[in-house]
Amino acid sequence: MKVYKIAAASLLCTSLLLSCEGNKKQENKELETTTATDTTAAPLKQQNFATTIDGKEVGLYYIKAKNINVAFTNFGARIIGLWVPDKDGKQTDVVAGPDSTEGFQKSTEPYFGATIGRVGNRIAKGTFKVDGKEYHVPLNNDANSLHGGKKGFQYVVWNVQQPNDKTLVFTYTSPDGEEGFPGKLDVKVTYSVDDNQNLKMDYEATTDKKTPVNLTNHAFFNLNGEGSGTILNHKVLINADTYTPVDGGLIPFGKLDKVAGTPFDFTTFHTIGERVETNNEQLKNGKGYDHNFALNRTAGNDLQKAATVVGDKSGIVMDVYTQEPGLQFYSGNFMQGKNTFKSGAKDDFRTAFAMETQHYPDAPNQKSFPSILLEPGATYHTVSEYRFSTEK
């Protein structure tokens, strides 16, 4: 498997002891972590997140560096807020989501800000084979499995440790057979921030049986600020000459199509709304953009730019860097105004977007796609970053 990383978050915290159930060496040990006290840039209430789920404590955590402040909860190892300055220097929350653990539990959109696994994106009919043996993941997206099944990592209470103000470490052991996947999977996700306004996500996993793994984060962004309205005027550039076309269930056909001459050509800047209503079969299948782009990568496993998004009102720029071969661009097509954001606004149609770094959808069933099978004795390691700045 390849090795990857993403940039992390911001900290405003006081120390607290939490029990951590990580790997065997960490079981039953107490780990020092931190919890939010400064709310000047992050008006979230600790009591709204302090609860117990499945016998584990849930809380609110921050990491911060110069001009970047990121809030998390260990329920789903979620990014729940991310504050960076806009073109006028105003601190702006660019990540959408509820303001409480209960809000995430009851949300009709389960993936707000969550760490996604074991397998991000879709598995056709929830079925795949490893060495000839067939496995079944619960169907939670019509006839297919999406983002790890009915109880993917977004519903897990992760163990959490905070080694410093700029770093937050989440760990979880997924038992053999969880959601139908083979093998015990030990997962560690490290979120960190730096003084250049970069948020890094560093994923690691090991297994005792061969198993598919495709981890990502599903933050919903509005670079004009959460609750500021449509994202259709955001400008997007994606470094991809091809994408994976899909059927009506959003399962890839197993081929790559050229983006040139189609609404999927973001090799130069276009707004999200410019072509999203074009009479195009693929846009009809996704009800907009909900497609994997096969990134143009040069040789090597270093971080390379995947995409750039610019907020039309704020001037906030988000560059996406990754070691992954793919990027899922989702234009908020299934948002229905049924959930309330931290700002008090509803999650109305296309008021947030996602850029999920990943291996390709349905990879276990597509022999032509890069493999996501992790072998015992090997380490899955991948890094991605969201890098923030403002238009010059």
The residues that are catalytic are 218, 356
192 three-class SS:
strand
Q: In what order do the strands lie in the sheet with 68-73?
A: 60-65, 68-73, 78-85, 91-93
- CB-based contacts of 326: which residues, under 8 Å, 6+ apart? 244, 292, 293, 294, 295, 357, 358, 359, 360
Give which of 180, 197, 230, 205 is closest to 337, Cα–Cα. 230
State phi, psi for 51 to the nearest 5 degrees: -155, 180
Judge contact between 201 and 324, C-beta under 8 A.
Answer: no
- What kind and span of H or E run contains 292? strand 290-294
Judge contact between 245 and 252, C-beta under 8 A.
Answer: yes
Cα gap 140→116, rounded to integer Å: 14
Cα gap 359→379, rounded to integer Å: 16
**Distances from the Cα of 131 to the Cα of 2, 134, 182, angstroms:** 21, 9, 12
Cα gap 301→297, rounded to integer Å: 9
Identity at 277, one-letter amino acid code: E
Judge contact between 44 and 71, C-beta under 8 A.
Answer: yes
Q: What share of the chain is helix, strand, coil (3-state, %, to 5)?
A: 5, 45, 50
Judge contact between 6 and 324, C-beta under 8 A.
Answer: no
Give which of 266, 291, 290, 263 is closest to 279, Cα–Cα. 263
